[in-house]
Amino acid sequence: MHRRPVIEPKPVTQLRGVGDTLAERLDALGVRTIQDLLFLLPLRYEDRTRVVPLGELLPGQRAAVEGEVLLTEVSFRGRRQMLCKIADGSGFLTLRFFYFTSQQQAALARGVRIRCFGEARRGPKGLEIVHPEYRRADAPAAKAAEDHLTPIYPATEGVTQGRLRMLVNMALDQTSANDLEDWLPPVVLGDSDLPSLREALIYVHRPPSDAPVEQLLEWRHPAQRRLAFEELLAHQLSLKLLRQRIQSDPGWPLITDGSLKAGLLSALPFQMTNAQQRVLLEIERDLTLPKPMLRLVQGDVGCGKTLVAALAATQAMQLGRQVALMAPTELLADQHAQNFRRWFEPLGFPVALLTGRQTGKARAAVLAGIREGHAPLVIGTHALFQESVQFHSLALVIVDEQHRFGVHQRLSLREKGGRDGHQPHQLIMTATPIPRTLAMTAYADLDVSVIDELPPGRTPVKTVVLSEARRDEVVMRIRTACLEGRQAYWVCPLIDESDEMPYQAAEETAAALAAALPELIVGLVHGRMPSAAKEQTMRRFTDGEIQLLVATTVIEVGVDVPNASLMVIENAERMGLAQLHQLRGRVGRGRHASSCLLLYRAPLSMLARERLAVMRDTDDGFVVARRDLELRGPGELMGTRQTGLAQMRVADLLRDADLLPSVQIAAETLLRDWPANVTPLIRRWVGNAEQYGRVG
């Protein structure tokens, strides 16, 4: 076993010019020590090595320019501002400052030559740059500083890019090889030809004048790859430790004669697919073990994951233990509650529903049933892991749509089940297929099962891409389908970040469609409706009373209406492939041929054109997922804002996918031979390692 002393990091306040105020602002960037500055990695680079003649400068262009000051004056046009006019023989440019000092004004005297950088825009008297970065062009440091690409760092209020670059440079100068602990032994890097940690950090912060610009801008330089390798390794280790920590406590071995499962199966009007049976067998094997199960079930929309989860639940319920199913939205929780009640209540097992909107006596009654063990199966939203919820004997936690929840939300529900030193099993479900290499990285704490077969009788959904100019044709198509006895969805996407917009768009669309189709009953569902109203509308749609349902993307997951055969998605070009595929999965669940119409607003960007073409050409969720990764990257696909992967500073799961096999080998090597290096490595890249457990 190899152990090395951990070098105590020096606080950032030891740098010249860093007082308490600046230290507080840097803390917002996660910078508390001098070493933290080294790992405040550039988000991108700007090429300031080429000076653009003023006569060639275009509006919207970010560029380095150089010129001689003709005039600097303070003006009072609405507010106090300083205007500096420069020229270089090819043209003129105004520099506009709203915040300035008398020293700055004096320094920008007539005849001084300056180099500046910023975004040009149209002003009252030609092009101007507001608050450019600038320095004297004849200063000795100016030439050297512009000989390499300029790093752009994460921003925070009150700290300029110039100040950040200066602080990073000071940190580099003050950090010797002895101060910077490299937690990757040479044997871990092998013959990868990647540089040392110190060499990599110096290179990414100070790319030399002969640096391969394209390689750096694409994040494929060996120095960047060295850091990406280490970051991916830290995330991999954190999840492996999480798994170790969870499985270090005993689980509940759930061994039954299978009579409750048999009762549920005998009541079903269909047979399970081979894929469902295979995955259920894997789950059942885990549930009989004396350690907590940690299993992810991946499966395309409509493959029957919910039934597999229900059958797994029978193993705990038959023994008198509780099962909790957590869904990301109230609508999906309601849908699950309906399905599970239909399956279990005839067998004598009540199903409790707990959501955030329940209050008063109704909520108190549900909480009492959970606490006293009268509720063998509890379904709910994130409300399940609030402090007021106490389980009597929780043995299995089922989490639906894992990408909507974070690792820590999942953990907090697990903690609720801790009893007598035992921990509940975890079954995680997602309808967002993830390529195997990414699943092994994103879900390194989980075993992965895949339901790769759809039930027989599912009719393929035909996908058509149409310009919104053909909207009237689409409305007529809805009329025809509904008058023939079928039903349809019309989805209005999130138009901007405002909570109000999808709500308004859906209401306006519903009103317009009701006016255009007076012979049809049009319903409306959106996220801001009271739960009871939403549930009532969905039930009326399920029962066939409503023929056309206008909705925001709240119906993305879980809604199951076999008679619905037509899905219209407005502004489809604004949506990601994963979401479009989820929405399309709401139709094609019955015996009628189904269609999904993607309405777009011209002009289409190249990316939007490619996305819509993927939807038209395939209905295979794994193909869609792969193309989604290629077109957009893994962030949204896996909801990595919650899982922590989105906070990666340099690594990219798709771009650096070729590193993943080596990362997995390195993780095993470190855990086995260098355990003392693991926690500081995780702390450096992921943050507080305590939440992942300890080794060494």
Classify residue 240: in a domain, yes or no. no
**What value, to the nearest 5°, has the Cα angle with vertex 147 and ends 145 and 153?**
55
What does the chain come to in residues?
696
Region of 445 on the Ramachandran plot (φ > 0 left; ψ -120 to 50 alpha; else beta): alpha
**Tally of CA atoms within 13 A in the half-sphere of 16 that contains its CB:** 5
Name the stretches of the chain with pLDDT < 50: 1-3, 142, 144-145, 495-503, 633-646, 689-696
Give the integer Cα–Cα distance in Å for 438 and 444. 9
And the tokens for 535? 């549930």
Pairing outcome for strands 564-569 and 522-525: unpaired
Shared-domain flag, residues 338 and 435:
yes
Pairing outcome for strands 564-569 and 594-600: parallel
Give the integer Cα–Cα distance in Å for 378 and 380. 7
H-run or E-run covering 296 = strand 294-299
**What value, to the nearest 5°, has the Cα angle with vertex 47 and ends 44 and 51?**
155
Best CA proximity match to 201, nearest among 686, 688, 684: 684
- Beta strands (DSSP E) in 59-198 are 62-77, 79-87, 92-97, 113-123, 126-130, 133-136, 150-152
Shared-domain flag, residues 421 and 559:
no
SS3 annotation, 229-277: HHHHHHHHHHHHHHHHHHHHCCECCCCCCCHHHHHHHHCCCCCCCHHHH
The SS3 assignment for 685 reads helix
Report pLDDT for 501: 46
**What value, to the nearest 5°, has the Cα angle with vertex 97 and ends 89 and 162?**
90
Q: Are 430 and 298 in contact (CB under 8 A)?
A: yes
**What value, to the nearest 5°, has the Cα angle with vertex 396 and ends 392 and 397?**
100
Classify residue 210: in a domain, yes or no. no
Alpha helices in 486-603 (DSSP H): 500-516, 531-542, 577-584
Report pLDDT for 395: 93
Given 121, 146, 171, the domain boundary residue is 146
Shared-domain flag, residues 323 and 436:
yes
For every residue of 436-448, DSSP letters joined together read HHHHHHHTTTSEE
And the tokens for 174? 């003050």
For the chain, the 3-state helix, strand and coil shares in percent, each to the nearest 5, are 45, 20, 35
One-letter amino acid at 119 equals E
Give the integer Cα–Cα distance in Å for 469 and 85. 49
What is the edge-to-edge ordering of all strands in the sheet holding 594-600? 461-467, 594-600, 564-569, 487-491, 548-551, 522-525
Q: Are 467 and 475 in contact (CB under 8 A)?
A: no
Best CA proximity match to 549, nearest among 572, 570, 521, 569: 521
Given 567, 597, 618, the domain boundary residue is 618
Given 108, 127, 146, the domain boundary residue is 146
**Burial grade of 624 (CB within 10 A; 0-12, 13-18, 19 or more):** buried
Report pLDDT for 383: 83
Shared-domain flag, residues 380 and 493:
no
Q: Which residue has the tokens 């639906």?
A: 400
Q: Which residue has the tokens 């399970």?
A: 272
Classify residue 225: in a domain, yes or no. no
Give the integer Cα–Cα distance in Å for 627 and 624. 5
Classify residue 529: in a domain, yes or no. yes
Q: Distances in Å between the alpha carbon of 680 and those of 9, 239, 241?
A: 12, 15, 13
Shared-domain flag, residues 416 and 529:
no
Best CA proximity match to 291, nearest among 155, 458, 422: 422
- Beta strands (DSSP E) in 5-91 are 44-46, 62-77, 79-87
Supply the CATH number for residue 128's domain: 2.40.50.140
The SS3 assignment for 492 reads coil
Query: What pairs with residue 80 in β-bridges?
Result: 76
Shared-domain flag, residues 468 and 443:
no
Q: Which residue has the tokens 């309405």?
A: 599
Give the integer Cα–Cα distance in Å for 552 and 639. 19
Q: Would you call the peptide bond into 603 cis, given omega within 30 degrees of 0 as the criterion?
A: yes
**What value, to the nearest 5°, has the Cα angle with vertex 203 and ends 199 and 206?**
135
Give the integer Cα–Cα distance in Å for 565 and 553. 17
Best CA proximity match to 425, nearest among 297, 276, 290, 244: 290
Report pLDDT for 639: 38
Shared-domain flag, residues 396 and 536:
no
Number of domains forming the structure of the chain: 3
Classify residue 695: in a domain, yes or no. no
Give the integer Cα–Cα distance in Å for 29 and 653. 23
One-letter amino acid at 543 equals D
Best CA proximity match to 651, nearest among 184, 240, 233: 233
Classify residue 274: in a domain, yes or no. yes
Domain membership of residue 566 as a residue range: 461-618
Shared-domain flag, residues 419 and 536:
no
Q: What is the pTM of this model?
A: 0.66
H-run or E-run covering 32 = none
Contacts of 213 (CB under 8 A, 6+ apart): 47, 149
Supply the CATH number for residue 558's domain: 3.40.50.300
Q: Distances in Å between the alpha carbon of 335 and those of 328, 331, 370, 536, 559?
A: 12, 6, 20, 12, 7
Classify residue 651: in a domain, yes or no. no
Report pLDDT for 404: 52
One-letter amino acid at 236 equals Q
pLDDT in tens, 299-311: 887 788 999 999 9
Q: Distances in Å between the alpha carbon of 259 and those of 102, 314, 634?
A: 86, 9, 42
Shared-domain flag, residues 442 and 498:
no
Shared-domain flag, residues 301 and 445:
yes
Contacts of 585 (CB under 8 A, 6+ apart): 300, 301, 302, 431
Q: Are 293 and 251 in contact (CB under 8 A)?
A: yes
The SS3 assignment for 194 reads coil
Classify residue 197: in a domain, yes or no. no
Pairing outcome for strands 92-97 and 126-130: parallel
Shared-domain flag, residues 369 and 508:
no
And the tokens for 625? 């997922």
Shared-domain flag, residues 474 and 400:
no
Give the integer Cα–Cα distance in Å for 481 and 658. 48
